[in-house]
Amino acid sequence: MSGTALATLVVAALASLFMAWAIGAGSSGSTPFAPAVGANAITVMRAGFVVGILGLAGAVFQGANVSEAVGRELIVGVTLSPVAATTALLTAAGLVAIGVFAGYPIATAFTVTGAVVGTGLAMGGGAAWAKYQQIAALWVLTPFVGGGIAYGMASGLRSLDVDRVTVPVLAAVVGAIVANVQFVFLGPQGVSRSLARATAVAVGEYELAVHLATTVAFAAVVAVLLRRDMDRDAERGQRHFLLALGGLVAFSAGGSQVGLAVGPLLPLVGEDVSLTYVLLGGGIGLLAGSWTGAPRMIKALAQDYSSLGPRRSIAALIPSFAIAQTAVFFGIPVSFNEIIVSAIIGSGYAASTGGGVSSTKMAYTALAWVASLALALGVSYGAFVAVDAVL
C-alpha cells in the first residue's frame, strides 16, 4: 500500500471512529436504558456501561447487512474510490460534529446516507432507485407504524389495568421476535440464522412446523417467566421487563447503527480486511461513545421517560426493537432518533393530556431530518468535485 493510500485510509478510519463515537454517545447509547433509569430499575452509570457492551455485541453479530448497504448498495455503476469514501466520511462526520457542538439535531442516518449518495453521484455513478425505495418506505412509515403501535400498546395497558396478563402477553410478542432475530453465530460461515430457523434446520424435517413451534415455545417460556416474576412483585417484574427491553434495543442499535460509521470504509479495505474486524472497530467506537458520553444523555432523558411511567415506556420500547430489527434484516440505514422519538410520541399521546407532545417541535424535528439528508448530499457532491478537480 502506497503512502498516499495509507494516509487516506487513516483519515477515513479516524472519521469513521468519530462517527461511531458520536452515535454511541447519542441516541443509540442513551435511549435504550433511559426508561429503566427513569423507573429506578438501574443506575445511570451502570446503564451506560451495559449499553456499551450490548451495542458492541450488536455491531459484531448483526452489523454486516447495514454496513454492506451503506458501503456498496447506495450507488450503482461505480465503486466508491478511496477519495470518495473519505470525502463522504469527512462530510458526514463534520456535519455531525457541527450539530453536536452547535446543538442542532443532525440525524446521523440521514447525514451518512446523503453523503455517500452525493459522492457516488459526483463520481458518475447511478442512483440505486430500488434501494432508495426501501429506505424511503421505512423512513416514512416509521413514525406512523412505530408511533401507532406504541399508542395502541400504551392505551391498552392504560385501559385494561391488568398488568399480570397484558405485560406477559407483550413479553410473549417480544419473545417471538427474539426467536426470529438473525445472528451470525447461529449459521454457517457468512450466513446469519435465527434461533427458530437454526432449530428447524437441525431437525431437518417439517422445517416450517418446527420453525413455528420453536417460536411459540420461546414466546411461551418468556411469558411464563415474566408472569411468575410479576406474581412475586408486579412492580419489580415490570422493571425487569424494562431492563430486558432496554438490552434488546441497545443490541439492535449496535447492529443497525454501526453500518453508518463503517459502511463507507468497506470500499477502501476491500477484501484485505475481514468485515468482522471492521465491525469490531466500529463497535469499539460505539462502546467508547456509550461509556464517555451516554451517561449524561441517559440522565437527561430519564427525566422525560419517568413522566411516561413504566407502562408507556414498555409501549415505546417494543416497537423500537421491532423496527430496528426490521432495518437490520433488510440492510436499511435508519435513524434511531426517528425510531425512538416516534415511539415516545405515540405512547405520550395515549395519556389523557396528550402526553405534552409539541406539534411545533415535531415539525422542526422532521424538518431537521430532511435538511440533514439534503445538506449532506449537496456538500459531499460539491466537496468531491472540488477535490477531484485539484487531484
The full DSSP string for 356-370 is: G--HHHHHHHHHHHH
Quote the cell numbers at residue 268.
477502501
Residue with cell 419517568: 306
pLDDT per residue as tens digits for the range 323-365: 999 999 999 998 887 888 788 888 877 765 554 555 666 677 7
CA 357 to chain centre: 23
Predicted local confidence at residue 377, as pLDDT: 94
Query: Which of 80, 91, 157, 92 is CA-nearest to residue 120?
Result: 80
As a whole number of angstroms, the distance between CA 55 and CA 42 comes to 17
Query: Which of 255, 9, 264 is CA-nearest to residue 112?
Result: 264
**Residue 124 zone, left/alpha/beta (φ > 0; ψ -120 to 50; rest):** left
The amino acid occupying position 350 is A
Quote the cell numbers at residue 185.
453465530
What backbone torsions phi and psi does residue 4 show, to the nearest 5 degrees?
Answer: -65, -45
Predicted local confidence at residue 216, as pLDDT: 96
Predicted local confidence at residue 341, as pLDDT: 79
- Read off the DSSP letter of residue 185: G
Quote the cell numbers at residue 319.
416497537
Residues of the chain with pLDDT under 70: 1-3, 27, 29, 38-39, 100, 102-105, 159-163, 300-308, 351-362
Instruction: Give the pTM.
Output: 0.88
Predicted local confidence at residue 37, as pLDDT: 77
The amino acid occupying position 141 is L
Predicted local confidence at residue 45, as pLDDT: 84
